[in-house]
Structure 1
Amino acid sequence: MPDTVREKANQSLAMVEEVTAVVLPEPVAANAIVPLEKADKPMSDEIRRRMAEIDMSDTNSIVSFGSAAQAELQEISQSMLADVRNKDVGPAGDSLRDIVTTIRGFSVSELDVRRERSWWEKLIGRAAPMAKFTARFEQVQGQIDRITDNLLTHEHTLLKDIKSLDMLYEKTLQFYDELALYISAGEAKLAELDTKTIPAKEKEVQGTKEDEGVMKAQELRDMRAARDDLERRVHDLKLTRQVTMQSLPSIRLVQENDKSLVTKINSTLVNTVPLWETQLAQAVTIQRSAEAAGAVREANDLTNELLTANAKNLRDSNKMIRQEMERGVFDIEAVKQANADLIGTIEESLQIADEGKARRAAAEKELQEMEAKLRETLAAAKAKKTGLGDTASAAMPKG
């Protein structure tokens, strides 16, 4: 870990100790709404001051009764939400986004980054594999530095949130107490209307002449309607106070979670990251040793393969050479075969010659017999004196 990161982590540790040391005040009981008649002098003055905000003839003063108490609380909430995106608030942000997209006419599924991607999006979505590929060739120390920077950013954000939640808690508690004053003022005003103002108005209507009674009666009805509006407004303030009461422990719970996360992040920066570096350094050494051992193994395997292959080649070549050296110029089998073939050739030549001589002798004998037979035939024909004998005998050659 670089010295700058270690220094930032130590500085953050002091901030963590500072925010964890803050003790937030506890809210009063849920039913601690003090009526006007039971309030002490300072509180009764505050209640009467809020009662003075009510103008029964002005509907807006009734509708907005108690809204001023939420001004500071709203400012803090708005400042905390100024740079927040929907994705940062989880399911609540999803619900808000659904409403906005419905109003705008967009399809919520088209804007949901967690939906199942289409085949085209899967085809072109190469960020994750490319990021993994790139990470393989990045320096380990650079990756650790990026992790620590990211953790420091989260830590600072959480520390800021914790302080903002402290202010939010204090303003919420003030709003909670302020609502009690407004509720007491509203109930006191309702009691005043029910016991004094409205009965006095009713007597005034009863004592008014007939021609003026209609206007007075309308004023009485308007007063009663305004009184009912005020009662509903006080009831809403009571509900708001109850919800505010429930939000106080929620803020405390979020704060405690943030404090735990900040402590864990700081412990990771101070203790875990150096341990990472040590373990990664060991991993580098182990990997390099394994690679060296693999290279040595491959070299030994190559040596053994060369020795075995050379020995086998030497044996095969020596056998072939020695066999060729021990052979004569001519193989006895070849000489014997050649001699046998020569003898056979001579014998076949003599046999063919004898057979040819015998065939010639037989042919000569047959020629003599045919010639003798032909002569005898011609002689016989001459003896018969056919007239052809002389011609025939003249045509035959003399023996």
Structure 2
Amino acid sequence: MTDTIRQRAEAALAEVEQVSAVVLAEPTDANAIVPLKDADKPVGAEITKRMAEIDMSDTQSIVSFGSNAQAELQEISQSMLQGVRNKDVGPAGDSLRGIVSTIRGFSVSELDVRRKRSWWETLLGKAAPFAQFTARFETVQNQIDKITEDLLSHEHTLLKDIKSLDILYDKTLNFYDELALYIAAGEEKLSILDETDIPAAEAEVEKAPEGDQVMKAQELRDLRAARDDLERRVHDLKLTRQVTMQSLPSIRLVQENDKSLVTKINSTLVNTVPLWETQLAQAVTIQRSAEAASAVRDANDLTNELLTANAKNLRESNKVIREEMERGVFDIEAVKQANADLIGTIEESLAIADEGKARRAAAEEELKKMEAELRDTLAAAKSRRDGVGDNAGTAVPGA
């Protein structure tokens, strides 16, 4: 780790401690919905102010009742969502895992300079173990520097997120309180409508001349419909308030996770990475000492191997030379084998000749026998005078 990165990491520690020390407020009974009749003067004034936003003759004012309270919260949320879309969700954790996997990339067997390279390494021309170890150490150092820079960047981003979550939490809590005021204002308005405005409108319908009753009745229906719309709007605001209350611990949970991760990142930068670098430096020094000792040992081993190999080679070559000197031009065993093969060849030739002579004599007897059988057959055919043997018998000698 460079001095610049180390100084930045130490400077960030103070900011980490600062954001970790912030304690956020939690919803209490003071945030509960207070009816207008039970509210103190300042709260009562705020409820009355929000009641003035309701115009029962304007449907849009009823539908949008309470929406102004969410405007500032929506701006904060949109700003944070924009940041979430533009950043990777898990790079900080990946960087932490990257350091561990990089350090674990060192294999104890690869540090052994006496290890024989595999046939695959020889085929690919891979570097010898120590050369490979040295090259890998240089790569690891560069990787650690890069990862520490990434971690600092992620730490800075997380700190910004934590501060933004503080603002979002405060705005959400304010929105929660605003919703209580709007709900109280809506319920008070519904009470006035049910107890005063609607009964008054009903009385006007009954008192109106017959020609105006239809118009007054329609105004009464419109007032009742607007009252129902307001009641539904107040119900929606109550649901929104409940969801808002649930989002407060969610924000706290995300924020606590970010704080934990920032603390872990800072601890890794300030404590863990320098320790790893120290251990790596020691590993290189130890390996160089082992290499020097191994070189001396290899030289001594080579001398002993040469002495032993030369004595062995002298003995084996002397044996071969003396044996060749005592051999004759022809080995007696080879002469005996050649004589036996020659005798065998002559005997086989005589046996084959005798066998051929016997086969020819047997064949000659068979031919004579077949000729006699044919002559007798033709003679018998001629004696019957049926015309078959008259011509055929003339072709056989002596017939």
CA shift in 2, pair 1:225/1:323, >3 Å: closer
- Counterpart of 2:121 in structure 1 is none
SS in 1 for 2:233: helix
- Counterpart of 1:237 in structure 2 is 237
> Per-residue CA shift, 1:75-113, capped at 9, x if unaligned?
1011111232288569xxxxxxxxxxxxxxxxxxxxxxx
- Counterpart of 2:132 in structure 1 is none
CA shift in 2, pair 1:89/1:141, >3 Å: closer
CA shift in 2, pair 1:190/1:308, >3 Å: same
- Counterpart of 1:37 in structure 2 is 37
- Counterpart of 1:284 in structure 2 is 284
CA shift in 2, pair 1:292/1:220, >3 Å: farther
Residue correspondence of structure 1 range 165-184 to structure 2 within 5 A: 165-184=165-184
2:31–2:180: 8 Å Cα contact kept in structure 1? no
- Counterpart of 2:100 in structure 1 is none
> Per-residue CA shift, 1:227-250, capped at 9, x if unaligned?
111111101111111111111111
- Counterpart of 2:8 in structure 1 is 8
CA shift in 2, pair 1:210/1:186, >3 Å: same
CA shift in 2, pair 1:204/1:296, >3 Å: farther
Residues in 1 aligned to 2:235 and 2:89: alpha-carbon distance in whole angstroms: 30
Alpha-carbon shift at residue 279 of structure 1 (Å): 1.5
Alpha-carbon shift at residue 316 of structure 1 (Å): 2.5
Amino acid across the alignment from 1:208: A
Amino acid across the alignment from 1:248: L
- Counterpart of 1:70 in structure 2 is 70
Residues in 1 aligned to 2:61 and 2:7: alpha-carbon distance in whole angstroms: 56
Residues in 2 aligned to 1:324 and 1:260: alpha-carbon distance in whole angstroms: 86
SS in 1 for 2:82: coil
- Counterpart of 2:218 in structure 1 is 218
1:30–1:242: 8 Å Cα contact kept in structure 2? no
- Counterpart of 2:161 in structure 1 is 161
Residues in 2 aligned to 1:292 and 1:85: alpha-carbon distance in whole angstroms: 55
CA shift in 2, pair 1:20/1:277, >3 Å: same
> Per-residue CA shift, 1:339-387, capped at 9, x if unaligned?
xxxxxxxxxxxxxxxxxxxxxxxxxxxxxxxxxxxxxxxxxxxxxxxxx
Amino acid across the alignment from 1:162: I
Residues in 1 aligned to 2:255 and 2:27: alpha-carbon distance in whole angstroms: 16
Amino acid across the alignment from 1:69: A
- Counterpart of 1:275 in structure 2 is 275
Residue correspondence of structure 1 range 183-202 to structure 2 within 5 A: 183-202=183-202
SS in 2 for 1:22: coil
SS in 2 for 1:81: helix
Residues in 1 aligned to 2:84 and 2:155: alpha-carbon distance in whole angstroms: 17
- Counterpart of 1:315 in structure 2 is 315
Give unmatched runs, 5+ long, in structure 2: 91-134, 333-399
CA shift in 2, pair 1:139/1:89, >3 Å: closer
CA shift in 2, pair 1:238/1:323, >3 Å: closer
Residue correspondence of structure 1 range 215-364 to structure 2 within 5 A: 215-292=215-292, 295=295, 298-319=298-319
- Please tell me whether Structure 1 or Structure 2 has the larger radius of gyration of its CA atoms: 1
Q: Which moved more, 1:173-182 or 1:74-83?
A: 74-83
Residue correspondence of structure 1 range 143-154 to structure 2 within 5 A: 143-154=143-154
Amino acid across the alignment from 2:273: V
- TM-score computed with the length of structure 2 as normaliser: 0.66
2:31–2:177: 8 Å Cα contact kept in structure 1? no
- TM-score computed with the length of structure 1 as normaliser: 0.66
Alpha-carbon shift at residue 255 of structure 1 (Å): 1.3
Query: What's the RMSD between the two structures over aligned residues?
Result: 2.7
Residues in 2 aligned to 1:259 and 1:282: alpha-carbon distance in whole angstroms: 34
Residues in 1 aligned to 2:148 and 2:75: alpha-carbon distance in whole angstroms: 33
1:158–1:262: 8 Å Cα contact kept in structure 2? yes
Amino acid across the alignment from 1:44: G
Residues in 1 aligned to 2:184 and 2:39: alpha-carbon distance in whole angstroms: 10
Residues in 2 aligned to 1:89 and 1:66: alpha-carbon distance in whole angstroms: 34
Amino acid across the alignment from 2:139: Q
Amino acid across the alignment from 1:194: D
- Counterpart of 1:23 in structure 2 is 23
Alpha-carbon shift at residue 321 of structure 1 (Å): 5.8
> Per-residue CA shift, 1:315-351, capped at 9, x if unaligned?
13344566789x7xxx9x88xx9xxxxxxxxxxxxxx
1:36–1:47: 8 Å Cα contact kept in structure 2? yes
Alpha-carbon shift at residue 30 of structure 1 (Å): 9.1
Alpha-carbon shift at residue 192 of structure 1 (Å): 0.5
In the alignment of these two chains, the number of paired residues is: 286
- Counterpart of 2:125 in structure 1 is none
Alpha-carbon shift at residue 60 of structure 1 (Å): 0.8
Amino acid across the alignment from 1:257: N
Residues in 1 aligned to 2:270 and 2:87: alpha-carbon distance in whole angstroms: 30
Alpha-carbon shift at residue 27 of structure 1 (Å): 1.3
- Counterpart of 1:205 in structure 2 is 205
Residues in 1 aligned to 2:160 and 2:142: alpha-carbon distance in whole angstroms: 27
CA shift in 2, pair 1:195/1:5, >3 Å: same
Alpha-carbon shift at residue 73 of structure 1 (Å): 0.5
Alpha-carbon shift at residue 22 of structure 1 (Å): 1.3
SS in 2 for 1:82: helix
Residues in 1 aligned to 2:223 and 2:72: alpha-carbon distance in whole angstroms: 32
- Counterpart of 1:124 in structure 2 is none
1:73–1:168: 8 Å Cα contact kept in structure 2? yes
